[in-house]
Structure formats: C-alpha cells, structure tokens
Amino acid sequence: MPITEQTFHSSSLSDAFLILTRLSGVDLPVEVSNELILKGMDTRQLHQHCERFGLTCQRSLSALGKMPEATFPCLLQMKGKRFVVALAARQGEVQVLDKESQLLWVKESALSERFSGVCYSIQKAGEPDSHSPVTASDWLKREVAQLWANYAQVILATLLINCLTLAVPVFTHFVFDKVLPNYATETLLAVTIGIGLVILADFVLRWLRSFYIDDACRHITRQAELQLIDSLLRQEAHQINLSPARLAQQAQGFSRVKEALSSSILLTALDIPFFILFTAVIGVIGGPLMWVPIAVAAILIPASIINYRLTRKRSSLATKTQTEKNACLHELTQGLETIRAMGAGQSLLSRWRILVNSSNRHDFSHRRVGSVLNAFVISASQIVVVATLVMGVFLIQSGVLAPGSLFACIILGSRAVAPLMNLTQLLSRINLSRQALKQLDPIFSNSGFANAGTESPDATQQRLYHLIPDIEFQDLSFRYPSDNQDTLHGINLSISAGERVAIVGASGSGKTTLTRLLSGGLIPDSGRVSVSGHDLTGLNLADVRQHLSVLQQQPFVFSGSVRSNLLLGNASANSSELDRACFITGLDQWISRCRKGYEHPIDEYGSNLSGGQKQALCLSRTLLHGGSLLVLDEPTSAMDNLSEAQFCQRLPDFLGEDQTLVLVTHRASLLQLVDRIIVLAHGRVVADGARDEVLKKMQAVRTG
C-alpha cells in the first residue's frame, strides 16, 4: 500500500508542536494552547515557545536516514509548510503518528519524497526532579546505580576469572607431582588441552569485563561532561563564583573520576577480596606457607592506609596551588599584549616563579611520603617468592610438601598479593577523585538541581507569558559580597512601558549594577525589582528573558561566524531581520566588505575584530533578540562619531511604540534618544526627570 497523507499525519506547526509537547508530558496552559490553535505560529515563535516551556529546540538540516538517535523526538518540516511529529527511527523506518494519533512506522523513502530536509529537534531541557542530587558525589552514585547491570556483569566476570586463575597453579602442581615422576605424556597432553581452554575462557572473560567497564565509564564521562555545562548554564551570574581557570581545572577533575572508574583501578579494587581465596587455597595445598602472603598483607594494608592519610592533606594543597597556577597562566595569556606594552614581563615572571616553587614543594613533599612505600611494594612480590621458597624447602625436607605444591604456592602467593601492591595507588586515585568531586560541588549544588533563581522552569516560580515592559525599583539596596559598602542604596524608580530613559552618572556610580539587577543577574539585598507588576525574584527568568534584550557593557563575541553570533538570541531570524538589525548599528557596511558576508569567520573572543566591530555585532545581536524591554549599556562607546550619529538616527524607527528603552551612557550625543534622564551618584538617585530639565540642572551644577 502506498504511504499517503492518510497514513502519516502532517499538520500546521502549532498543531504539531502541541502534539509533541503533549507526548513529552509538558502541560501548556489552556490559554496558550488556545492561542496557538487560533493564531498559529511560525518557526521563530517555535524557539520562543520551546524556551518558555523548558524545552530545547535545535534546528538541523539532514537527510532522513542520517539523523542521529538524539535528534528524536522532532518535527520534520515537509514541503508546503506542513510538519510531521517523528518520535524515533530504526533501519530505514521512522516512527510517526497517524491521523488518530496512533504510533506507526513508515518507510523513510515514503517520507523523504515530501521532507524539506529541515528538522526541529525538541527535547526537555534537563528537567530537575525532586530527587535530584545536590552534590557531585550524589550525582555520581546515581549514575553508577543506573549502570548496575554493567557492574553486576563485571563482578560476575571477576569472580569467574579469579576462579579460573586457580587452574594454572593446580596444573603446575599436577605436572610436577603426577606427570613428571611417571613421564605420563598422554596425561600431559590432556591437561595441556584443558589448561589451554581455561586460558582461552580467561581471555574472553577479561575482554568482556573491560568492555563492560569501559562502556559504563564512557556513559558516565559523557553524562558528566554534559552535566557540567548544563549546570553552568542553569546558574545565574550571582551564583557563579568561579574564574575561568578554576572552572577549567574543575572540568579536568572529571578526568580523575573517569580514571577511578576505568578498568585498571576498578579491577584492582575488585581483585582485593580474592586475596582471601588465594591464601585459603595456599593453606590447603601448602599448609603453613599461607602465613607468607598474610604477613606481607599485614604490612602492606596498614602502610597503604597510613600513606593515604598522610598524603591526603598534602595533595589537596598541591591541587590548590595548581589551580592558582592555572589562573595565573590564563591571565597571562589573556593579558599578554598589556604585559608587553607595560614592560611588566619581569613582575609576572616573579609571580609565576613563586607559584611554581610552591606547587613543586607541595607536589614533591606529597610524592616523597609515598616513595618509601612504593619501594616496599615492589619488593613485596620478591619477598613472597623468596620466603615461600625458603619455607617450602624445609617443608619438603620434612616430607609434608611435594615440589609441585611448592611451585603452585609460589604462583598463588604472588597472585594473592598483586592487588594489594596496587592498594596505595588505588587509595591515592580515590582520594584525587574525591577531591575532584568536592570541587565540583559548588556547580552541582547551585545548579538546576537546587533550582532557586535558575533559568529552568520551577513549580514555585511564576510563569510570565506576556510582559508589559514597565519596571519598578522599590527601596532597592545592593552590595557586592566582596565590598564593604552598598553599591546601591534605597533606589525608588518606576519606568513605564514605552518610556525612553537614560541612566547617567560618574564611573562607579552603580549604573551597570542597576541594569544587572533589572535583568536578574544580581539579586537585591533589600527592596525589590518588579517587571510587568511582578517581583522579579518570583518569576521564571527564562520567561522574562524572552522579552528582555540586554547589551552588556563589555561586548562578548563567540568564535564561529558573524551569522552564528547574530543568531545567538534568535535562532530563527530571517535574512531581512538580520539585514535590518545590522543596518541600524552600521554593521552592514563592514559585512558588505567581507568576502564571505555573514559567514565571515570569527576567532575565539572575536580577536580578529576591531573594538567597534565587536560592539556593533553585539548591539545587532541584542536588537535581533527582539524583546519589548531593551537595555543598552554603553552601546556606542567604541563607535566612531559618524556610526554613532547614524545609530541615533536609525534606532527610533526600529523601536516599537510600547518598547521600553533603558540606556546607560556617558555620551551626551546619545541623550537625543531619550525623553527622561535618571542621574546616579554614589549609588543613589540624585536627579530624575524630563531630559531637557535634567540637562539644564546638570549644566547649572557644572557652571555654578
């Protein structure tokens, strides 16, 4: 039967979106569903709605058969602006819905005839749950628990491998004591085939065991790396208290955890209990020879524990100094030009030297403690062989032991103490992993798990689907944790929807801080910030940011292309919207000179752009985001006079009637864009009124 529209169901974007959200278990408010059904939506609104409801929306271009598993569930855009909800794919088939919303597998070839090649992958954005862990170790325990099947197989394989290990000493014992005295070559052939099969089984089990461990480790590492970034993205600026260098160090910490979970270490840990098995077998075969491995273990185990305790504190100091070194290195690479220009190379070098000396001191003192034990550990296996041999000779002389049994006991003794020899290493790796996990706790505990003040939707946070861009600051005070006095005191201001307001004042008067409080990046110590009549602290910030476009004072450009930077806040902007935003800021003139236009490549931190270009790019990006509340912090500080004049001329046409503009500036020329000026001094509002009146007052203060 040919697959037609009757078998798989295509619908408008809004209908497909509603179906997909229902299937994903996202409850949309009735009024939103009704509005979507009545008004429909375009792909740009799709991104906005997804963000609102805690979903991620990723647009991609791909042939049907080449979509990775992670793409599903998704909306497939068909020709003629129809959409199909696709839930999964398997060999040559895609799972879609029919008209009755029943699941159905259809051939890719049937869909691909009408598939436009564009697909929107829609997924829940790492939703927090009430059982979520609040520390990195809790998180790790949960992940490991989820992989219990892998670890159960590893334990079973370890049990079998250790039992099979007994076969070689038994074989040795048999050959020496039974085959050799009688020259029984036929028997030798039979037992050799038997031991060959045992060795083969041992090989397969070991290989399977490594496979299961590596598989679990790969899963945990992947989750850990995703979790790290997800946790960071969920945090508000006021919650992040990390320097980039420290963060990089902590991210590296995951590699220690990975190491601890990887084959060598885990297998050592699993092999330790089999010391008892091997020693017991020695007891059966060689009687008193079992005391040799027991004596070695009686020295090795306490010594390893003492070494672990001694090195624990030292290694934490070593990690701390390493973090400081990384921070210094990061600053040095970022500020290399300034260091050269200031001729400050020598002073930086001496700072670096102090750090290197201190790091070496901690590092080597912690190694020195372990080196004595490591030397003993290496001697331990030799001690076992020599002591067993010497004792064995006496036992053979007294007729209680056969030579074959002695050889078997030597092999078993070495095997019994082998995992104990790695005990020091195991404990030190566990220690490093614990430290790494502890360092990650601030990220995990403040992340979306805890949820307060985060970007992801939370039942306690009020959703805001429509925002009237009016703002109110009531008795607002704020102090940075590192400061000893308030940056802002008793601010009372209200800005109505559609107002154009400038905030001016001397450097350090608190203008930027006020805008950061407005965007939810900082939380007031007292008083409140209200947007659209709601206290900002009770609102879901992701909702607020749908309507809030903020240009930061320090423009930040990401590596990629001009287009990828512009689309950062509005992934579905079309080319005329791009052109318009770039025209307002004057970026269009530079883009027209670039051979690749919007695809012009951008290096890390935008290092291949001029200061003015970076600013214009960030400004265009902010305008393109399209919020009804526009906050621009020094939007033209790096622009030339002509570009600034053009921007002032073009911006009013761009702004909607109800769009509120809050402009932070030192430039008098920008004040033509506003009707009202608020003057801050030392964190207080000292003047607030119509532009011309405030300017007159300021002039009078200056001249008078």
Ligand X SMILES: Nc1ncnc2c1ncn2[C@@H]1O[C@H](COP(=O)(O)OP(=O)(O)OP(=O)(O)O)[C@@H](O)[C@H]1O
Residues that bind ligand X (CB under 6 A): 480, 482-483, 487, 505, 507-513, 553
Sheet order of strands, 534-535 included: 488-495, 471-478, 526-531, 534-535
Q: Among the residues of 452-610, which ranges form H helices? A: 511-518, 541-546, 562-566, 575-585, 587-593
Closest contact distance (angstroms) between CB of 554 and ligand X is 10
* Count of CA atoms in the C-beta half-sphere (13 A) of 262: 11
What span, in angstroms and rounded, lies between the C-alpha atoms of 669 and 634?
A: 12
Q: Among residues 345 and 508, whose Cβ is nearest to ligand X?
A: 508
Residue 610 CB partners (closer than 8 Å, separation 6+): 638
Q: Among residues 268 and 509, whose Cβ is nearest to ligand X?
A: 509
Q: Among residues 337 and 483, whose Cβ is nearest to ligand X?
A: 483
Q: Among residues 120 and 478, whose Cβ is nearest to ligand X?
A: 478
Closest contact distance (angstroms) between CB of 540 and ligand X is 25
Closest contact distance (angstroms) between CB of 446 and ligand X is 17
Q: How far is CA 219 from CA 143, 216, 258, 692, in A?
A: 9, 5, 10, 63
What span, in angstroms and rounded, lies between the C-alpha atoms of 35 and 14?
A: 10
Q: Among residues 89 and 679, whose Cβ is nearest to ligand X?
A: 679
Closest contact distance (angstroms) between CB of 665 and ligand X is 9
CA 187, distance to chain mean position in Å, is 61
Closest contact distance (angstroms) between CB of 372 and ligand X is 47
62-66 CB contacts, 8 Å cutoff, 24+ apart: 62/117, 62/119, 63/112, 63/117, 64/89, 64/94, 64/108, 64/111, 64/112, 64/115, 65/89, 65/92, 65/108
Secondary structure element (H or E) that encloses residue 605, with its range: none
Q: Among residues 448 and 635, whose Cβ is nearest to ligand X?
A: 635
Find, among 117, 120, 102, 105, the residue nearest to 23 by Cα: 102
Closest contact distance (angstroms) between CB of 497 and ligand X is 24
Q: Among residues 96 and 502, whose Cβ is nearest to ligand X?
A: 502
Q: Among residues 62 and 553, whose Cβ is nearest to ligand X?
A: 553
Closest contact distance (angstroms) between CB of 507 and ligand X is 3
What span, in angstroms and rounded, lies between the C-alpha atoms of 472 and 497?
A: 11
Closest contact distance (angstroms) between CB of 479 and ligand X is 9
Q: Among residues 288 and 527, whose Cβ is nearest to ligand X?
A: 527
Closest contact distance (angstroms) between CB of 132 and ligand X is 29
Phi (first) and psi of residue 411, to 5 degrees: -60, -45
Burial 461-482 (b: 16+ CB within 10 A, else e): bebbeebbbbbbbbebebbeee
